[in-house]
Amino acid sequence: MEIFGIEFDLAGIISTILPVLIEIVLLLVAFSIINPLGSKAIAKTMETMGKKRKLAPGRMKTLEKLSVNIFSYTLLFILIVMLLGAVNINIGPLLAGAGIIGLAVAFGAQNLVADVMTGFFLLLERQAEVDDYVTVGGYDGIVEEIGIRTTKVRGFDGTLHFIPNRLIEGVSNHSRGNMRALVDIQISYYDNIDEALHILQGVADRFKEDVRFKEGPDVLGVQSIGNSEVVLRLLGHTENMEQWGAERDLLKAVKEAFDAAGVEIPFPHQVNIFKDRSETKKEEYSYN
Give 42's pLDDT tier (boundaries 50, 70, 90): confident
User: Residue 288's pLDDT is what?
Assistant: 47
User: Does the structure show a pLDDT above 60 at 270?
Assistant: yes
For the entire predicted model, the pTM comes to: 0.51
pLDDT tens column, 215-226:
878 888 888 887
Which of 30-44, 102-116, 249-263 has the highest average model confidence (pLDDT)? Answer: 249-263
C-alpha–C-alpha distance, residues 152 and 180, integer Å:
25
Q: Once rounded to an integer, what is the mean pLDDT over residues 197-207?
A: 88
Instruction: Give me the count of residues in the chain.
Output: 288
3-state SS assignment for residue 7: strand
C-alpha–C-alpha distance, residues 124 and 143, integer Å:
16
